[in-house]
Amino acid sequence: MNRTRGGTYARGSRLMMIPCERPCQVRRRGVPDADEGEDGDVRGGLAGPQPVGVARLPAPRRRAAVAGAARLLGPSLQLQVPGEYEVTVSFYRAPYLVDIDAVQGKRVLMLDDISGNAEAWRGADVLSFNSGHWWTHTGAMQGWDYMGESGRYYVDMDRTVAFQRGLTTWANWVDLNVDPAKTRVFFQSMSPTHYSSKEWPNPVSKNCYGETAPVVGLNSTAADGQQASSGQDQVIQAVLRSMRSPVRLLDITALSAMRKDAHPSVYSGDLTPAQRANPGGSVDCSHWCLPGLPDTWNQLFYTLLFYK
């Protein structure tokens, strides 16, 4: 893969985005932005859970370009950008990174198996991952029935422990299958939520509802609270340090913790008038408005990608 001056890529590259848990978008200069919705839908309004991002840059052209259009291909969302660089950006949704298998009609989250999902990540020029939020979901939001590891099945376990085991499986795959000379790997840290107004001074409600300005001060209780409470971010940093492969951490947690005003709150467009009248029960303080904060993440990612 040839690079031109300034760290840009030669013609024929391919970019693939793999499921993360909060927006993992790659934008190219001069290409119209598409608003990204929950779970990577291109529809505008919210930026929601996305499991990983893969970038494939200049290589022989593999598919006909589709100008300004996105196609849903099985689990992937793919955008092909025509022009000088012929970049392909693919989004592959895998909230847990590791596989979910069907065993006797039940969904089993395989903490030690990533072979199924990882097939989609091979051959990329750039891989951008993230995971975390989905590991904490319970009840109807939980994406599995059992956890599996080493031939044993568990009804549940400490979620931070499970996340550490799953992420270690991902790290082992990267170390064994990714050639650092051909593929660059990034991992985005946890995207914070703002459901508890105890995390910042002078709140106007019990959550992000009604907030119209960021938290003031670099040492704010919001940033400190988000970082201190995020055992998952600690897991991410520990696993990345243990890897042989060079993986760059895109740390967006602290800067995002300041933006209690950047969530859709009751204005996502998906709520009924009755729900909007009850912001205590229906407010969305985890997704992000677009345009908005995720554009800052993209600027940081762009800087790491092209001006390392």
**Taking a C-beta distance cutoff of 8 angstroms, is the pair 234, 282 a contact?**
no
For 28, 163, 166, 188, the CA distances from 87, given in Å and listed in that order, are: 9, 33, 31, 22
**Is the confidence at residue 273, as pLDDT, over 70?**
yes
Lowest mean pLDDT among 19-23, 90-94, 244-248: 19-23
**Is the confidence at residue 109, as pLDDT, over 80?**
yes
| Span 37-70, pLDDT tens digits | 333 322 223 343 333 444 444 333 332 222 233 3
Structure confidence at residue 282 (pLDDT):
82
Structure confidence at residue 28 (pLDDT):
31
Domain count, the chain: 1
Q: How many CA atoms lie within 13 A of 290 on its CB side?
A: 23
Over pLDDT 70: what percentage of the chain?
71
Structure confidence at residue 7 (pLDDT):
41
Range of the structural domain that residue 143 is part of: 5-306
Structure confidence at residue 86 (pLDDT):
79
**Taking a C-beta distance cutoff of 8 angstroms, is the pair 259, 212 a contact?**
no
> Taken in order 227, 180, 245, 126, is the CA torsion positive or negative?
positive
**Is the confidence at residue 36, as pLDDT, over 90?**
no
Structure confidence at residue 146 (pLDDT):
96
10 CB burial (10 A radius; 0-12, 13-18, 19+): middle
For 14, 64, 95, the CA distances from 137, given in Å and listed in that order, are: 33, 39, 11
**What average pLDDT does the structure give for the chain?**
77
Of 185 and 82, the structure prediction assigns the larger pLDDT to 185
Nearest by Cα to 260 from 232, 298, 222: 222
Structure confidence at residue 211 (pLDDT):
94
Q: How many CA atoms lie within 13 A of 170 on its CB side?
A: 33
**Is the confidence at residue 142, as pLDDT, over 90?**
yes
**What SS3 class is residue 155?**
coil
Give me the amino acid identity at 232: Q
> Taken in order 273, 276, 277, 280, is the CA torsion positive or negative?
positive
| Span 153-193, pLDDT tens digits | 999 999 999 999 999 999 999 999 999 999 999 999 999 99
Structure confidence at residue 181 (pLDDT):
94
Structure confidence at residue 158 (pLDDT):
95
Structure confidence at residue 41 (pLDDT):
27
Residue 52 pairs with which residues in a beta bridge?
129
Burial track 286-305 (b if 16+ CB lie within 10 A, e otherwise):
bbbbbebbbeebbeebeebb
